[in-house]
Amino acid sequence: MARLSGLQRDVLSLYRQCLRAVREKPSDTRSHFRDFARAEFHKNQGVGKKDFGTIEYLLRRGRRQLETYQDPGIRDLH
AA identity, residue 1: M
Closest of 6, 39, 29 to residue 77, by C-alpha: 29
Residue 78 near residue 32, CB atoms below 8 Å: yes
**Amino acid 77: pLDDT:** 79
Can you give the pLDDT of all 78 residues of the chain as single tens digits? 678 788 999 999 999 999 999 999 999 999 999 999 999 999 999 999 899 999 999 999 999 999 999 998 988 877
**Amino acid 2: pLDDT:** 79
**Amino acid 5: pLDDT:** 84
Q: 48-59 burial string, b = 16+ CB within 10 Å, else e?
A: eeeeeeebeebe
